[in-house]
Chains A and B, each alone.
Chain A
Amino acid sequence: MGANQWSLMDKCCDLCRHSSETPCRSYITCAVEGPLCHDNIECREKRRFRISEIKNGRNGLKISIGMGSCGLAVGARGVYDATLRELERRGLEASVIPVGCIGLCYMEPLLEIHKDGLPTAIYGRVEPRSVGEILDTYLEGDVSGASALRNRVGTAKGELEVPLLDEIDFLRYQVRWVTRNCGIANPESIEDYIVYDGYRGLVRALESKPEDVIEIVRKAGLRGRGGAGFPTWLKWSICRRAEGLPKYVVCNADEGDPGAFMNRMLAEADPHRVLEGLIIAAYAIGASYGYIFVRAEKPLMADRLERAAEDARRYGILGHNILDSEFSFDVEVIRSAGAFVCGEETAMLAAIEGGRAMPRQRPPYPATHGLFGKPTVINNVETLAHVATIMSDGWEKFASYGTGGSKGTKVFCITGSAARTGAVEVPIGITVRELIFKVAGGVREGRRFKAVQIGGPSGGCLPENMLDLPMDYESLTSAGAIMGSGGLIVIDDRNCIVDIARFFTSFTMAESCGKCIPCRVGSKILYDTLTRIIEGGGSEDDLRILEEVGTFMKNASLCALGQTAPNPILSTLRYFRDEYEAHIKMKECPAKVCSKLVSYAIEGGLCVGCGLCAKQCPVQAITKSGERLYHIDASRCIRCGQCIIVCPRNAISRR
């Protein structure tokens, strides 16, 4: 697409007066359905033509490539370049669009082709060298090689052998509500967002009174998606009534929970939706300035949000007198310097103010005493995306999903040992079992399910017999896990539960800001105790220490980091106590993970002396010890298991 090409955001003719200095109320609707203020067939046609070009591509040919962070990591850039090259070689004109992630991470890189008259086809695990062939067969009307189709036309070759996208297990149970544009719209184009119904929620909000916007969000039953599940409307309402100006809104895009990437996915794939939600929140509480606080390790998300804000500003959707509503608001994207605790709201405010990100005592809550001491609302990325969608589609639709106390949909990320990994948006209340076994296809080849970790470092591990629990705020909390940000990490039988509990504790110990003693010292005691158990020096008493110190931290820590840090331990003590006991009483790690309790050895009788293991060993721990025999030096061995994999005789074992 040429840089100077006319866009829907531009004037159709001199009669249009909209600009960021002289805004027009009808600008958004006009851009897509217009012109509204005058009647001119040429102007109308120009808009219609452009809309069709965005939806169906130039000359009716459109190729979209998933280029979110994870797509790029598996080679989407090469696929993109190859696509441009192959099109040029064939003399074909088409739109080639970099889109965000649709959540099908296990199938990336993804390439989607649409040609008028053919079914829109999605190809998974595409390699640059296969792009030419995909193009040729598809354009000949043969879609048999596709992984999924968006629609059927009935005349393409092989059409019936390929499932519809909505029919594949990974998508069948999904409700694409906030993720509707992910993988479809070009995230770097505000024009795309408007064609796909964007900024309609903002228009509706600006036409209503702020109190009415809060009321709509209340009726929707939206609760914060950042972890705590606090009712969004209530926070807004308290802040709206609080004394003090200016007021601020902050978008929490710090997403620090390892295993959760739905915020990254949403902000990378559909940044305008997040921005729209933030502007609506600001309008509802009467804020004039906002910040989007983005995690340092997710730079693409910051770039996309920054670009979205720039574009919105250019077209009068952000800044002074937004769409002639007399409401003015602007935002700034802040790149975090990196610390997990920044995700905690009062710590985030301290970081924005330029200090060490240390949480402070609440109350007073930020809604009354926030940034620079002023009333401030902090909302998560996904919460804000929901706000925009609720305002555009109505609260009724949102509230029709979910359970009594937990309305709507939630995006979950399924990772670890799941057969299919990725992000899915499902109605709240789906069971954990459905998510893991139906959507994600269970556990990877040849492994057995052991546990699922939900809610990150603040969450817990659930065993097989707890999987019929519905995924809603209350049920998960009562089971010792939490909804948290919605990360599910599937753990198979090759992982040791005690080791994983220690992993989480090392995380919170390192990320504790050090301000309060229960968290700073408590996490160290927990870590040392677990280390003792893992290294074979544990005693019965240690389990009591874990429980006592854990419970104390829960009650006495200053912020939720320390209050929830013991959850991974307490939940595993509850469900996997036998594994702790095996380490303590038998000095044995049932999963053969804890290196002090396992050793690798070569069976003399089976070894034929081929030396493959010694060649493979990354640390040269294996040496020749006899004519037809090799030996493993336990002090050098890092227990990577490579030798076991390469041994043709199965002569190496873990003990």
Chain B
Amino acid sequence: MDSKGVQLINEETKNIDRMVEETVRRYGRSRKALIPILQSIQAKLGYLPRYSLESVSSHLGIPLSNVYGVVTFYHQFILEPPGTYIIQMCMGTACYIRRNSENYRFLLSLLEIEPNSRTSKDGIFTVLRVRCLGCCSIAPVIKVGDEVYSRVNLDEMRRIVSFYRAKARTGSSKHA
């Protein structure tokens, strides 16, 4: 690695340290604050880079293995950078009965997502499966960013994907 690369990485870790410090100050240096702190960091960075876990561990005095244990237990935490848009596919019962698993399979093929990945190759979409978004009466539903789409079918999925694809290409807004 050239010296410039190392510097950049140092810069990044410093930024993360600063942010973690600030977050810890806000939530307090206690075990109870661990999850809100991780949530706040993920809200800022979009995911939890490994270094942020190390930093939280040392700031709170909680072993890294322990922090990692918490992070991997809950569905909300993401350890790899997600795509520009996060698509949440509801895999709750009401949505399943209304064929959302077919929509899901279709979406994976439409976005050409590899079997062991969740993000499309172009980096635009990350597809997550969630258990019920609480809109079961208008199933099947999917959520893109903060927007919920109801009664979706294959045509609708096609339309949604091309809408966000175009939006990502024109680079209008990162998080819809």
Contacts and interface: CB of A to CB of B under 8 A. Distances in A.
Contacts of B91: 258
B35 A351 contact: yes
Interface size grouping (class) on chain B = 35 or more
B41 interface: no
Contacts of B94: 258-259, 415-416, 489
Interface stretch (A66-74, A179-187, A518-526): A66-74
Interface stretch (A230-238, A305-313, A335-343, A388-396): A335-343
A619 B109 contact: yes
A108 B35 contact: no
Interface centre among B73, B134, B154 (most CB of A within 10 A): B134
A70 B93 contact: no
Contacts of B34: 354
B136 A258 contact: yes
B161 to A, nearest CB: 11
Interface string A45-86: 000000000000000000000000110111000000000000
Nearest to B106: A618
A638 B102 contact: yes
Main DSSP-derived SS at the B contact region: helix
A421 B137 contact: yes
A105 interface: yes
B148 A73 contact: yes
Contacts, number: 155
A334 B70 CA distance: 16
A491 interface: yes
A338 B75 contact: yes
B93 A489 contact: yes
Contact of A618 (B32, B109, B131, B149): B109
A640 B150 contact: no
Interface in B104-131: 105-106, 109-110, 130-131
Interface string A110-133: 000000000000000000000000
Contacts of A334: 36
B92 A354 contact: no
Interface in B68-83: 69-70, 73-77
A72 B148 contact: yes
B70 A354 contact: yes
B137 A415 contact: yes
A76 B19 CA distance: 37
B31 interface: yes
Interface string A609-640: 00000000011000000000000000000111
Sorted nearest first, the 10 A-B pairs with minimum C-beta distance are A258-B92, A105-B137, A337-B74, A258-B132, A73-B148, A338-B75, A421-B137, A415-B94, A354-B34, A415-B136
